[in-house]
Amino acid sequence: MAKEIERKFIIDPEKWDKKGTPVAITQAYLAIDNDKIVRIRIAGEKAYITIKGKQTGITRDEFEYPIPVADARQMLGLCLYNPVEKTRYITEIDHKTWEIDVFHGQNKGLYIAEIELHSENEPINLPDWIVAEVSTDERYFNFNLSINPYCSWQ
The pLDDT value recorded for residue 117 is 94
The pLDDT value recorded for residue 140 is 97
According to DSSP, residue 125 is labeled P
For residue 30, with 0-12 CB atoms within 10 Å meaning exposed, 13-18 middle and 19 or more buried, which class applies?
middle
The pLDDT value recorded for residue 30 is 96
Q: Which of 29, 89, 140, 150 is catalytic?
A: 29
The pLDDT value recorded for residue 2 is 87
Reference 120, options 69, 39, 56; nearest CA is 56
The pLDDT value recorded for residue 68 is 98
Any idea what the CATH number is for the domain that residue 13 is in? 2.40.320.10
The pLDDT value recorded for residue 19 is 87
pTM of the model: 0.94
Q: What is the mean pLDDT of each run of 10 residues along the chain (154 residues)?
A: 89 93 96 94 98 91 97 96 96 94 97 95 94 96 96 90
Looking at the 3D structure of the chain, how many domains does it have?
1
The pLDDT value recorded for residue 46 is 98
The pLDDT value recorded for residue 139 is 96
Question: Where in the sequence is the domain holding 111, given as residue range(s)?
Answer: 3-152
* 150 catalytic residue (yes or no): no
DSSP string, 45-98: TEEEEEEEE--BTTEEEEEEEEE-HHHHHHHHTT-EEEEEEEEEEEEEETTEEE
The pLDDT value recorded for residue 20 is 87
The pLDDT value recorded for residue 1 is 54
